[in-house]
Structure 1
Amino acid sequence: MFSIVSTNRFIKEEWYFKNKPIIVVMNPKGKVECPNAIHMIRVWGMRAFPFNSSVEEALSNGRDWMGSIVTGINPNLHNWIKEEKYIFFYGGKDKEWIQQFTKSANALANDPVIKDARVSIELLCVGKSNKGEDAKAILAP
């Protein structure tokens, strides 16, 4: 029978547990399919089951992988992806830089050469208004 000490040591050494949440996925035969499935679950939810590398690769190579990641950020995103628009996600803590970038990116998006080339650009400023709050996107003016 394993002791708690040896079990803890195994988890820390073999699964690289460092006091942050991990989800180790084992198949019915006890083989580790994924040493940490948190990323896959956050991105694709249960569509990533059984959380192994082949499912992750198939989902990542799919046409709508970006849509899966950004679902819920902005209701227009799926349409923009379908319309093959360029989407600029940006943000940070420097409000002055954000204002300058928004101004420059809007100028680029409205440039006659860009419009003539039928290139469409959408801007999403992503950020948090309060510490601990999930990131949210705000349509740039």
Structure 2
Amino acid sequence: MNSIAFVRATGVALILALVAGAAVARSDDPPPDTLCTVLGTAQRYVGTTVTVRGTASTEGKTTLLSDAQCKAAIGLTMDDASSRKRDIASFRRTVAGKGVRADATVFGRFKATGDAQTPYAIDVYSVRDVSERPAEGG
């Protein structure tokens, strides 16, 4: 009887080790959605938190995230509290210059704006994987 209990305990321990190993191998960060996907099914995303990858630029006082695949853009809003975060402050400095663009992954709340020109925006909570893009035509 002791050998049967030992075999069962060993089997359970092996299964737990395999499950734990698979969980550790997975990334905690979900892959970013495309801006085209989010804007194509916007009503599904309104009021939810999204992770989106795109190209950021600043036009006047507006920061936009765009995707060349579907020629779409969305406004990014960063309030004073979030602007104090290191990642967001660095992101804002990167794209603040005229004509400067950067690829970035943005995490935040997707919302409807009520503005016909830019009907949706993202309240930015964090930004990662920012890489400045070379100027066009240069």
- TM more than 0.5: no
User: Per residue, is there more helix in 1 or in 2?
Assistant: 1
More strand by share: 2
Normalised by the length of structure 1, the TM-score is: 0.30
State TM-score, norm by structure 2: 0.30
